[in-house]
A and B are shown apart, each in its own frame.
Chain A
Amino acid sequence: MKLINKIRSRRGETLVEMLVSITLLVLAMSILAAMLSAAYNSDVSARKMDDKLREELSAAEEASSAESTGTVSIYSIKPDGKPDESAPDVQIDVDVYGGAGALRIYKPKSTP
C-alpha cells in the first residue's frame, strides 16, 4: 500500500537521493559485471586446463616411442607395513613415455 502511494505520489525525490541511488546502482552493476567477467575467465581457464590434461593423457597412452628410460625398484613390505629399504628385491628397466612436465607412463623395456 505504501509502495502504491509512493508510486502515485506527485512528490519527487531530492537530487541528493537520486544521485546516491544512481551511484549505488552503478556500483551494483559494476560489481556484478566484474564478478561475472571473473567467473567467465575462470571457466575459460578451467576448459583450457582440461583440454591440456586430455591431450597429455592421450599423448602418454598412445605414445609409440619412449622419451626416456628408467628403472623400477620393487621392495617387499615388512610386517610393520613399511617397505624393506635395505635393498630392492627386483629391479626392472622400463621405457618412459610422455614429455618432461607432462603426464607420463612407463612400460617394460622393449627388446630391440
Chain B
Amino acid sequence: MTAEVKRKFNSRRGASVVLALFLLLVCTFAGTAALTAARANVGRHAGARDVQEKYLSATSAARLMIDELQKANGKISGTFDPTLTDNIEFGGLDTNSVYKLIADDIKAVLHNAVYEKVKGDADWSGFPKPTHTFEEHEFELRVDGDDSFENVRITISVGDTGDGNGGNIEVTSKCGDYVYMFVMPYNTSFNKDTGKCTFSATATPEIRPPYKGESTS
C-alpha cells in the first residue's frame, strides 16, 4: 500500500488534471468569498430599514413629548405665602396634558424655587423646606391602530439647579436599541410681593447623549 502511494506521488502523469482541479478549487473559493461579502452587504442594508423605523419612532415620540411639555410654559404657577403648609394652588393644568403627568415634580420645582429665594428672609422664616424627591417617570407611547410605528418607552426626569432659577427636564426616548435624549431647560420666576412663582419653558430643547443609532437586529 505504501509503495503504491509512493508511486502515485512520484508519478508524472495527471499533472494537468491536478492543476485544473486546483484552479477549480481556487475559483470556487474566490467566488464564494465574493458572494458571501455581497450577501452580507444586502443583509446590512435590509437591517438599515429596521434601524430607521426605530429611529423615526423614537425621535417622533421624543419631539412630541417635548412639544407637549413646552405647552406648560406660563400655564403653571403657584401662589405662595410665608405660612404655606400644603395648600398650593395651580392654575391652567390641562387634564389631558403630558405635563399633568409630572405635575408633582413641577410643583416641587416651584416650591424649591420659592424656598431658595426667600431663604434668610425674616418674613418668610416659617416657609417649609421642600422635601420632594425627584424620580424618573416612565411611559409607553403607542400610535393607536398603526402597526408601522413601534411602541416607544419614554423616561422623563425633572431636575433643578438648586439656586431657584430653573433646571432641566430630560426626555429619553427608547425604541429597541435606539436611544434618543432631549434636554429642555426651564426657568422659574418668583415675585415676593405677590407670592407668585411661574414655570416657563421657552428655550429650545437640545439633543444630548446618550444617543445611540444602532440596532442588534
Contact = CB atoms under 8 A, between A and B. Distances in A.
A17 interface: yes
A103 B56 contact: yes
Interface string B160-197: 00000000000000000000000000000000000000
A28 B15 contact: no
B68 A42 contact: no
Interface string A98-112: 000001111110000
B49 A70 contact: no
A59 B114 CA distance: 47
B68 to A, nearest CB: 7
Contact of B52 (A18, A90, A103): A103
A90 B97 contact: yes
Interface in B55-73: 56, 59-61, 63-64, 67-68
Contact of B64 (A13, A20, A50, A106): A106
Given A90-B98, A106-B60, A74 B23 contact: no
Contacts of B139: 74-77, 83, 89
Nearest to A41: B38
B12 A50 contact: no
B60 A24 contact: no
Contacts of B143: 70-72, 94, 96, 106
Contacts of A53: 45, 48-49, 52
Contacts of B16: 13, 17-18, 21
Given A2-B12, A108-B67, A42 B138 contact: no
B34 to A, nearest CB: 4
Interface stretch (B25-33, B79-87, B105-113, B124-132): B25-33
Contacts of A74: 98, 101, 139-141, 154
Chain B residues touching A, majority SS: helix
Contacts of B61: 72
B88 interface: no
A107 B65 CA distance: 10
Contacts of A105: 56, 59-60
Contact of B101 (A34, A46, A57, A89): A89
9 contacts: A18-B16, A31-B28, A50-B45, A50-B48, A53-B52, A77-B140, A90-B97, A90-B101, A96-B143
Interface of A: 2-3, 5-6, 9, 13, 17-18, 20-22, 24-25, 27-29, 31-32, 34-36, 38-40, 42-43, 45-46, 49-50, 53, 56-57, 60, 70-77, 83, 89-92, 94, 96, 103-108
